[in-house]
Amino acid sequence: MEKRELLYEGKAKQVYATADPDLVIQHFKDDATAFNAQKRGTIGNKGVYNNAISAWLFRYLEEHGVPTHYVRTLGEREMLVRRLEIIPVEVVVRNIIAGSLAKRLGLAEGRELPRPILEHYYKNDALGDPLINPWHITVLGFASEGELDEINHRALRINELLRAFLEPRGLLLVDFKLEFGRHRGRVLLGDEISPDTCRFWDAATREKLDKDRFRFDLGNVEGAYAEVHRRICATA
């Protein structure tokens, strides 16, 4: 598949046009950012790991009835995906208290929740991706009520499927971010599923194996990404 002009460049990925207007190439970079890009750096081979991990998990979700933008892998850092009209709402699913939830509500990190919590954020880097509620989403026209219901239902289903996949691999899915978009009248899961967008903890030790190692200078960042890659891709 021929790569054409650059359509978009974000903090972690580039998106290129192809000869087919329905398909684009998603390229994963090694660049890393945190705290709304106030902290910047590079994680060695991050793009390689995130591309492979995302591909495995997209395929797994597709096999279990979750439609995604993934078409096929093109190389170590690139995948062919369906072109989406991105819905400007990031959906966060939380299973264990961590990150902004702990900070915002003054809760101790690490407590398991009796059931998942869904949160919605307005996808806008300039505003710092503020927390919003379903009224904002539907009244301001980010998504229809039907689309939001579908997104929420699908996010919870993805959570069930990923937890079932990760548990025998010794990984806790603490929380994760999802993005969705429209493609020919259908809502599809887009973006990526990786240590950049998920909090993965080792189930036995609760060692952090995700971008928190970069955020908080915990060291061995590339090693954590490599370990998640090994557990997901070598045993899938």
pLDDT over 60 at 54, yes or no? yes
Interatomic CA distance for residues 85 and 149, integer angstroms: 18
**What mean pLDDT do residues 13-41 have?**
92
pLDDT digits (tens, 9 = 90+) for 153-206: 999 999 999 999 999 999 999 999 999 999 999 999 999 999 999 999 999 999
Q: What is the pLDDT of residues 87-96, one digit of tens each?
A: 999 999 999 9
pLDDT at 235: 58
* Residues written for the chain: 236
Residue 56 has a pLDDT of 98
Q: How does pLDDT run across 57-96, given as a tens digit for each residue? A: 999 999 999 999 999 999 999 999 999 999 999 999 999 9
Cα 120 from Cα 100, distance rounded (Å): 13
Exposed, middle or buried by CB within 10 Å (0-12, 13-18, 19+), for 216?
exposed
What is the per-residue pLDDT for 236?
45
Q: Which domains does the chain have, with CATH numbers?
A: 6-82 (3.30.200.20), 85-220 (3.30.470.20)
The residue with greater pLDDT, 162 or 2, is 162
Provide mean pLDDT across the span 97-123. Answer: 97
Total-model pTM: 0.95
- What is the tens place of the pLDDT at every residue in 116-142? 999 999 999 999 999 999 999 999 999
- DSSP secondary structure of the chain: -----EEEE-SSEEEEE-SSTTEEEEEE-SEEEETTTTEEEE-TTHHHHHHHHHHHHHHHHHHTT--BSEEEE-SSSEEEEE--EEEEEEEEEEEE--HHHHHHHT--TTPEEEEEEEEEEE--GGGT--EE-HHHHHHTTSS-HHHHHHHHHHHHHHHHHHHHHHGGGTEEEEEEEEEEEEETTEEEE-S--STTTEEEEETTT--B-STHHHHTT-S-HHHHHHHHHHHHHTT-
* Residue 105: predicted pLDDT: 96
236 in Cβ contact with 60 (< 8 Å)? yes
| pLDDT of 36 higher than 90 | no
| pLDDT tens digits along 215-225 | 999 999 999 99
pLDDT at position 27: 98
